[in-house]
Amino acid sequence: MYKLLLLDADGTIFDFDKAEEYALQSSLEYFKYHGDFIELKKKYKIINSGLWHELELGNISKNELREERFRRLFTIYKLDFNIKDFSDIYLQFLSKGSYLIDGAVDICKYLSSKYKLVILTNGIKEVQLSRLEGSVIKDYISDIIISEEAGVNKPDPYIFEYSFNKIKHSCKSDVMIIGDSLTSDIQGGNNFGIDSCWLNLNNITNKTTALPTYSINSLAELKELL
């Protein structure tokens, strides 16, 4: 019987794609960009996702990531915007993007009546805190733990150890992590020795070494599982 559920934030509870698009478009409008937004957005997503994967591997720091993604993007599109200023504006807009995955409110309300819910995220601290504070699910969440606090990112097992210490939980057998990322959430659960549930919204094939305890294709399926 589970007592504690660790929830990933982006792609699991929060609709990061929508927040990212809003922040990127708003930032470009702020800097008066008049080019093809659709193509630029596609290129940015590729660059950004690649850098977040490098973060999981420990090859880049979060502070470096903040600006490196725009440095690479601006190089491709020959944009002369100030990288630091653009990054700061982008994060301001991103902090307002409290968009939720379909079914997130209902499932958080349901789960919070039975389990302790803690968000465990690799996201940027000021962004994640702001988005949670501006969200209708905040009253269902007992705590939020951000990788910057622990000094490491998922899937490093230390972030789970740090989380257990922070919330004063000691038993691994009554904990499950729920997330959309095989390489971060599920591999992290494997590394630490706790159960995991993979939220596979796009019904993709698992080609990684991560082994989820359970797999679901929608948040609503958690009602049947838990």
The DSSP symbol for 6 reads E
Cis peptide before 157 (omega within 30 of 0): no
- Check if the beta carbon of residue 153 is closer than 8 Å to that of residue 125: no
CA torsion through residues 169, 171, 175, 179, sign: positive
Residue carrying structure tokens 């691994």: 172
Which residues 6+ apart lie within 8 Å of 162 measured at CB? Answer: 145, 149, 150, 152
Active site residue 174: no
The tokens describing 167, both together, are 């919330």
Of 8, 10, 180, 195, the catalytic one is: 8
- Check if the beta carbon of residue 175 is closer than 8 Å to that of residue 4: yes
The DSSP symbol for 63 reads H
Catalytic residues: 8
